[in-house]
Amino acid sequence: MSEQIIEVRGLTKKFKNITAVKDLDLNVYRGDVFGFLGPNGAGKSTTIRMLLSLIKPTSGSIKIFGKSIKERREEILSKVGAIVEKPDFYLYLSAYKNLEILGKLSGADVSRKKIMEMLELVGLSKRANSKVKTYSHGMKQRLGLAQSLLHDPELIILDEPTTGLDPQGMKEIRELIIYLSKIKNKTVFLSSHILREVELIATRMIIINKGSAQVEGTVDDLLNIDKLTVSFEVDNIDNAKNILRDSAWKEKLISSTNRELSFGLVQNEIPELNKFFVEKGFSVSSIIPVRSLEDFFLKITEGEGK
């Protein structure tokens, strides 16, 4: 296992009578794109604020880069870039000036070349001198990413970074996160409610609900934690049903119609069943996994157990 970047133990935050985060443990390793999932009010933003020392935990410990955030706050934050909830800027200043100010505070290189590079990276270089109050929400999100990357941090914490972006913008941010992880070797802590996105880019993830961790692990493991409901559309479906009766796959068959057969499968059984049909001479026209991470997420957060 590689170096642990974030280590959270027994993290709890209470606001008077409300427990926002309860006894949370987190483990993020170097190079992870760590998905942090949960419904609204699950405690994601509160957790992120505690990671960044914006709010103080009621109990528990947070170590980042092996050091306590309580004791070594400045040293840790010099290596962390973050967007917490929606990125807000000094609206009366230009994007360039905002980056210059925030970069100076982070000890970053705030030369014109460096700032323009960052703005170019997020597609805002042509609007560098426009006041941020003239920016759309999507542009502010991009600028938020630029400010989080300006000081070349090792750990990037992104809280819902694609909120308000159009599909193309979401794709670009997704690609940027992959680029930061794979090419720049950054560790990314990604909070998102868009589960499909996390499924596509995260290596490890945790799902929290009502302030508590429900499940944590690699995305692959979590995808296989429960059977998927997979619908196979094959030709000559009556023959297919007959052949299934004489095979081990009959145990996996959940339901059938005159067009498709639905099976309860784990991830790696899907290609095996496909191969079975093909070898028996059937033509498989579609395979649709009905249960995805989203189903799993909903199941967990609706309290149906894990």
Q: Which residues bind other proteins (CB under 8 A)?
A: 49, 52-56, 73-78, 80, 82, 84-93, 97, 101-102, 104-107, 147
Strand partners, 230: 263, 289
Q: Which residue lies nearer to other proteins by CB, 54 or 278?
A: 54
């987190």: which residue's tokens? 26
DSSP state of 131: B
The CB-of-80 to other proteins minimum distance in angstroms stands at 7
Other beta carbons within 10 Å of 293: 22
Q: Which residue lies nearer to other proteins by CB, 192 or 214?
A: 192
Q: Which residue lies nearer to other proteins by CB, 75 or 272?
A: 75
- Taking the C-alpha atoms of residue 192 and residue 50, their distance in angstroms, rounded to an integer, is 17
Cα angle vertex 267, ends 167, 228, to 5°? Answer: 75
The CB-of-71 to other proteins minimum distance in angstroms stands at 12
* Helix axes of 95-106 and 112-121: crossing angle, nearest 10 degrees: 110
The CB-of-209 to other proteins minimum distance in angstroms stands at 21
The CB-of-18 to other proteins minimum distance in angstroms stands at 12
Cα angle vertex 47, ends 66, 100, to 5°? Answer: 75
């990413």: which residue's tokens? 145
The CB-of-88 to other proteins minimum distance in angstroms stands at 3
Residue 256, burial from CB neighbour count under 10 angstroms (0-12, 13-18, 19+): middle
Look at residues 7, 8, 23 and name the one whose alpha carbon lies nearest to residue 58: 23
The CB-of-183 to other proteins minimum distance in angstroms stands at 25
The b-or-e profile of 164-192 (16+ CB within 10 A means b, else e) is ebeeebbebbbebbeebbeeeebbbbbbb
The CB-of-260 to other proteins minimum distance in angstroms stands at 49
Q: Which residue lies nearer to other proteins by CB, 90 or 179?
A: 90
Tokens of 71: 């004791």
